[in-house]
Structures are given as structure tokens and as C-alpha cells.
Structure 1
Amino acid sequence: MKRVKKGPADFRAMPWRNGLGVTREMHIAPEGASLGAGDFLWRLSSADVAAGGPFSPFPGYDRVLFLLSGEGMDLSVNGSGASLAEPYSSIAFRGEDDVHCSLRGSPAVDFNIITRRDRLACAYELMDQFAGETPIRLAGDITVLLCLRGEVDVRGALQERLRAMELVILEDYETGTALSIGGPGASKVLRITLTER
């Protein structure tokens, strides 16, 4: 099983495509791909959102946006309203959708998954009920485990401790590979599964 661990020191600060802010690129694949060239298959990022405005367009990609902190944000997606009012709430939309956001108060921090629609399917699960160790079985072609809060220990086919905003990317594993995740009850982990189409 191939694994890559990353933390905040590895993330790259990059300007938004629309020039209205800066994001921290946590991972982009394949190696050598870039946001500007539009040749990437998937990307993980986090941004500090200090003001509302339009989202950058990404035709042909699917997006999932999570609110990590702040008082929330209200979104307009093709004219329909939606809200991210609580930390760790999320919304999925297409990269070509017309999306605008406005903040409910203080600046917010978000997390974004973006995947190329014709090449990858994306599933995700927020894990936050750790009683001892929680067993999981790997599926799809790529799994990302991202610790959003606290710290957790991943055991089984690999041994990793993940602290807040650290992640591990797993590839080349057998479907059904068993792992367990354990940590304090307040910890939160986002499990992302990418499957080739």
C-alpha cells in the first residue's frame, strides 16, 4: 500500500483563480499537474474567507465545500439559496455552477474537494464518534484520511498518528483492507474515497 502523509508545513499558498483570495493547496494529483493548467484529476485545499464574493469556475469538475470555522456562510447556487451554518457542514455542487457566498459575520475557514467528473467519483464521510477504536475497510482506488480536529491514531495495515489538519493519502491497496481509527471523543476525521470511472 502506497501512503503519503502531509501536514500544514507541506501546504502551498496560492491565489484564487478569480484573484479575490488565497487558498492553501493541500494536495493536487497527478504529480506535476497544476490548477492554472487545468490538467489535474483531484485537489484538496483550505482557504481563509475574509469576504463574500463569487466562486471560481471549474467546468467539468465536481466540488464539495466544508465549513471548518467561523459564523457560517450563505451560498447562492444558480440562484438557489443554501447555508453552511455549523462547523463541518458541507455542500456539493458542480464546478460550472454559478456560486456566490456571503459571510454571516466573522471570517470563515473552509475545506474544498474538487474532482474531475469524467474520471473520478468522490464519496466522503465525517467520522466523529470514536468509542475506543472505530474499524473501517478501504474501498475505491484512493482513500484520504484528514484529521479536522484533535488527533487520532490509525492502526492496522499502517500505523499513523494524525493531528489537526494532517492527512494521509492511501493508494494501491486491496479493497476491504482493514484499518481502525481511535482518538478522543472530540476528534473529527474526514474520510474521502475516490473511485476511478
Structure 2
Amino acid sequence: VETSGPFSSFTGVDRTLSVLEGDGVVLDIAGQPPARLTTASVPLAFAGDAPTSAALIGGPITDLNVMTRRGRMTHAVERRALSGDIRIMPRADTTLVLAVNTGFTLLTDDRQSLGPLDTLILDRDSPELRVQSQGQGLLFVIELDRLAANH
């Protein structure tokens, strides 16, 4: 996000926003108190059709913006700061694991590494994932589910 200003409206869409890089943003969402988001904040969920504007705190930011069509899909976004090992058990139809910074190793036979903004895509049948962080790491786990009528 390069400049402050209004968000586009997305009728029937649920959104979750997280700040990955930069000083942060203050969101003014209709009917809610202003929300200050920084790289340390938990993800903020809100309706994509609610009038929303953003004021950058100190310059451009990089954000993670997850959007799903209300009534067709749901999503959940979890911020996980870690050092050491973490286990991720895919529970959703689709689980995305986004590495924000470097130093992650998948504890599998081939011990692949994840670089900044690398994303793993897992499905409900994927085995438990073990990830090791070299130092202080930051991951986002995004779960996407189809609603029953849409399977």
C-alpha cells in the first residue's frame, strides 16, 4: 500500500488484513472505532462492503489481505511468532502457510527451506507439518473452507 485513502468496496466479501512490513496503518471502518495495525498486530477481520479508509502511519506498507465470498467460503488468519519448532495440522479444506521472513526449515526428509513470502499450500488430507525457525520467525496460517452447499 503506497498511499492513504479509501478502500474499494467488495459486496458480499469478508476480509482480513495484516501488516507484514512498514510502520503500519490506521483503518477507519464504518461503525467501528479506528483500528491501528502494525507488524505486531493480530489480523483484523471486517466486512469488505463496509466503507473503509486507510491512513498510513509512516509510509508505504506491505500487507496480507485475505478475502472470501460470504455464503460460499470462510477464512481464518492466524499470526504465529515463533522461535524453535512449530507443528501445523491442516484442518481446513485449504491451509496456506506464509513465511514472512527467512530462516524456516521444513522438518521433512528433504528439509526444504522457506524464503521471505514463500507460501505452502496444504489440503485437509496433508500430514502434520513441522517447521523449524532459525531465530525469531513470523508465519501466517490461513485456513480456507467451502461452505457445505458449495462442495
Using structure 1 for the length normalisation, give the TM-score. Answer: 0.67
Residue 59 of structure 1 aligns to a residue in which SS? Answer: coil
Residue 71 of structure 2 aligns to a residue in which SS? Answer: coil
| C-alpha deviation, 1:159, in angstroms | 5.5
Task: Give the 3 Å change call, closer, same or farther, for CA 86–173 of structure 1 in structure 2.
Answer: same
Task: Give the 3 Å change call, closer, same or farther, for CA 144–157 of structure 1 in structure 2.
Answer: farther
Is 1:61–1:115's contact at 8 Å kept on the other side of the alignment?
yes
Structure-2 separation of matches of 1:195 and 1:50: 31
Task: Give the 3 Å change call, closer, same or farther, for CA 145–157 of structure 1 in structure 2.
Answer: farther
> Aligned pair 1:193/2:143, yes or no?
yes
Percent identical residues: 28
Task: Give the 3 Å change call, closer, same or farther, for CA 163–117 of structure 1 in structure 2.
Answer: same
Q: Which runs of 5+ in 2 are unaligned?
A: none
| C-alpha deviation, 1:79, in angstroms | 4.7
Counterpart AA for 1:52: S
> Aligned pair 1:76/2:28, yes or no?
yes
> Aligned pair 1:181/2:134, yes or no?
no
1:121 aligns with 74
| C-alpha deviation, 1:130, in angstroms | 2.7
Counterparts of 1:32-181 in structure 2 under 5 Å? 49-89=1-41, 90-131=43-84, 133-156=85-108, 160-171=112-123, 173=125, 177-181=127-131
Structure-2 separation of matches of 1:119 and 1:53: 29
| C-alpha deviation, 1:184, in angstroms | 1.6
Structure-2 separation of matches of 1:159 and 1:63: 34
Structure-2 separation of matches of 1:71 and 1:178: 34
| C-alpha deviation, 1:136, in angstroms | 2.1
